[in-house]
Amino acid sequence: MFSRIVTSALFAGAGAGLIAALLQLVFVQPVLLHAELYESGALVHFGAAPVSAQQPLPGLDPMRDGLSILFTLFTYTGFALVMVAVMSLAEAQGRPVNGRAGILWGLAGFIAVIFAPGLSLPPEVPGVAAADVLPRQIWWVSTVIAAAVALWLIAFGRGWTAWSVAALLLLASHLIGAPEPDSFAGPVPPEIAGQFAARAFGVAMAGWAILGSLAGYLWQREEVVGKRQPV
């Protein structure tokens, strides 16, 4: 069982992580580099002269881009280990686990880890006003845990009690509110910050859906291969 979990998670995490990293380089990094120009002062928001949104951006940086890809691979592999372990628990309860069902697992992971905390604490580009890191980290972790438990109750709980608890868990962090900065003024235009958040959400949703599909497919495949091997 442990070997099956590790094998499925490693291949699913590597495959989904590589695709997500490439999507980030194409769609997210150009917005990030544009925001860094405002953060450094190379561009000025509300300047005396209008500034075109299409500014020449720095070229590819092998070191930076390579580390970004490597970090994304490790991140998705870590998420895959957790996802496949939870999939094994669901299968033990008689729930089917395959590539098609894995898409739903991936979307649930996206909702718990990215979308739920992102509703009140969206992805941020460099240079935007933000609250202190520690309160944001505490709020983020608690929101992810609450959302994960809520989704589990929605999927596997029975009766209105479980579903009511799930609804409360999904709402609790947002009713409390995420930590906010003292001032919302920053050097980065809000249009760039909004575009960054939207693209980060989109790439993350695609990455998580692929991760879930690969994890479910590989989990089912490992089971089939295991049954074919002689005892």
Summarised one tens digit per residue, pLDDT across range 143-169 is 999 999 999 999 998 899 999 999 999
Say which amino acid occupies 224.
V
Residues 206 and 150 in one domain: no
Q: Are 44 and 187 in contact (CB under 8 A)?
A: yes
Which of residues 220 and 112 earns the better pLDDT score? Answer: 112
pLDDT score at 56 = 52
pLDDT at 69: 93
Same domain membership, residue 108 and residue 138: no
- Asked which of 141, 158, 180 is the last residue of a domain, the reply is 180
pLDDT greater than 60 at residue 13 = yes
Tally of domains in the chain: 2
Same domain, 67 and 166: no
Chain segment 31-75, per-residue pLDDT in tens: 998 888 888 777 777 654 444 444 555 666 788 889 999 999 999
Q: From 141, 162, 180, give the residue that closes a domain.
A: 180
User: Do residue 52 and residue 145 come from a single domain?
Assistant: no
**Residue 187 has what pLDDT?**
80
Angle between helices 99-110 and 62-92 (to 10 degrees): 120
Tokens of 112: 């718990």
Domain hosting residue 149, numbered range: 131-180
Q: Same structural domain for residues 219 and 120?
A: yes
Same domain, 63 and 94: yes
Say whether pTM exceeds 0.85.
Answer: yes
Q: Are residues 42 and 60 in the same domain?
A: yes
101 with 13, same domain: the answer is: yes
Same domain, 165 and 195: no
pLDDT of residue 58: 61
Q: Which of 97, 135, 58, 54 shows the shortest CA–CA distance to 212?
A: 97
Q: pLDDT tens digit string along 162-210?
A: 999 999 999 999 999 999 887 766 788 888 889 999 999 999 999 999 9
Residues 21 and 53 in one domain: yes
> Measured between alpha carbons, how far is 126 from 147 in angstroms, rounded to an integer?
27
> Mean pLDDT across the stretch 128-134?
83
The dihedral formed by the CA atoms of 31, 112, 74 and 104, expressed in degrees to the nearest 10: -100
Residues 60 and 112 in one domain: yes
| Residues 160, 221 within the same domain | no
